[in-house]
Amino acid sequence: MRFEFRKKRETSQFLLGDGQLVKRDTEVRFDPLTGESSRVVFDPGLTFSIPAYRDVARQTSGKNCPFCPENVWQQTPLFPNDLVEGGRITHGEAIVAPNLFPYSKHNGVVIMSKAHFVRLEDFTTDLIKHALIAAQKYAMNVLKHETDASFVSINWNYLPPSGGSMLHSHLHVVISESPTNEQRMMTQHHQLFKERYDQHYFDWLYDYEKRENERWIGESGDIAWMHAFAPKSHNDFLAVFRNRRTIDDVTETDWRHFAEGLINIFSTLTEQNLASFNLALSFTHDGSPAYARLVPRLTLGQLGTSDMNFFHTLHDEPLSYKKPEAIAALARGYFNAS
């Protein structure tokens, strides 16, 4: 199968004050499945920095945090007993309770740990795995009761730049009768790809990226990692759950392998002085493999400028200062070492 990874170069020219002619390239890349475009722009040698959260962690922990151990059982709400016996789900340190401000009919919050603030480098495979298993248990409970609420995602906003309103680490499990725009679009494109090529897109992408090795990162068990060709941010990590179609297909071993991969991705972020991120793990409702995407979130410069400007928010056109193939090579080193 010949499938195009299309990109177009645009070159800007201008003169500096001393008359020197400068040429700078912008690379417009088009997602091979959806056709969505993003732009890899000139990198002025941009360096990132991780804010210190020690003081704010002290100020927001303990009596000031409903997720800390001394408060969690009194201050978090309960699910109806017919949905979750006892009102909450636990697994390891993880606790699942309802979101007080839900995004959907079913929105569970997975409090990941007893510790109020877990630095990126301090996450462990077990801590992540237990939180994901707790999320899965909640989703399975909902799906037993709701035949129409079939669009499932597990989501993570880590640290304030990601939009996370609580420093205490937590996941969101969203189960809805209505797909998000991303879920709707991906379902449509997956169906079209399957009809045309008699193969699921992510199965094809796995074979292609692993063979070409440009954006391939590595795999742990049946969880394969690569970098997106048309990135949604300065890094854009894609994980494909091979042969796992629905959330009940995912085993405890799969969660461990996914968590191991995340630890390697966290190391890749840390090497770049990045910490905050958004993650979404989606089950696409069309028979294709489950997949996750993780992009860093950050602020830029002394003003604390958002990493999202009009291009991303109003033109729906992400910008990246970093070349996907270079970031994939960086991440590949951690997978090869693990």
CATH of residue 116's domain is 3.30.428.10
Amino acid of residue 279: L
Asked if residue 257 belongs to a domain, the reply is yes
What does the alpha-carbon distance between residue 275 and residue 295 come to, in Å, rounded to a whole number? 10
pTM: 0.96
190 plus 330 within the same structural domain = yes
Asked if residue 82 belongs to a domain, the reply is yes
Query: Which residue has 């690569």 as its token pair?
Result: 226
Return the closest-CA partner of residue 234 out of 39, 49, 44, 50. Answer: 39
Per-residue pLDDT at 1: 55
19 plus 147 within the same structural domain = no
40 plus 66 within the same structural domain = no
239 plus 286 within the same structural domain = yes
pLDDT band at 338 (very low <50, low <70, confident <90, very high): confident
Q: Which of 176, 200, 229 is the last residue before a domain boundary? A: 176
Domain that holds residue 123: 61-176
296 plus 262 within the same structural domain = yes
Asked if residue 1 belongs to a domain, the reply is no
Provide CB contacts within 8 A for 261, sequence distance 6+.
218, 219, 220, 223, 225, 239, 335
Asked if residue 325 belongs to a domain, the reply is yes
Per-residue pLDDT at 47: 85
Query: How many domains does the structure of the chain reveal?
Result: 2
The answer to whether residue 242 scores a pLDDT higher than 70 is: yes
Asked if residue 146 belongs to a domain, the reply is yes
pLDDT in tens, 77-133: 999 999 999 999 999 999 999 999 999 999 999 999 999 999 999 999 999 999 999
Radius of gyration of the chain (CA): 21
* Alpha carbon 181 to chain centroid, angstroms: 16
pLDDT band at 228 (very low <50, low <70, confident <90, very high): very high
Q: Which of 176, 199, 234 is the last residue before a domain boundary? A: 176
- Which range is least confidently modeled, 50-54, 244-248, 271-275? 50-54
pLDDT in tens, 275-304: 999 999 999 777 899 999 999 999 888 788
Per-residue pLDDT at 147: 78
186 plus 158 within the same structural domain = no
Q: Which of 150, 176, 202 is the last residue before a domain boundary? A: 176
Asked if residue 39 belongs to a domain, the reply is yes
Alpha helices for 222-275 (secondary structure H): 252-271
pLDDT band at 2 (very low <50, low <70, confident <90, very high): low
Asked if residue 286 belongs to a domain, the reply is yes
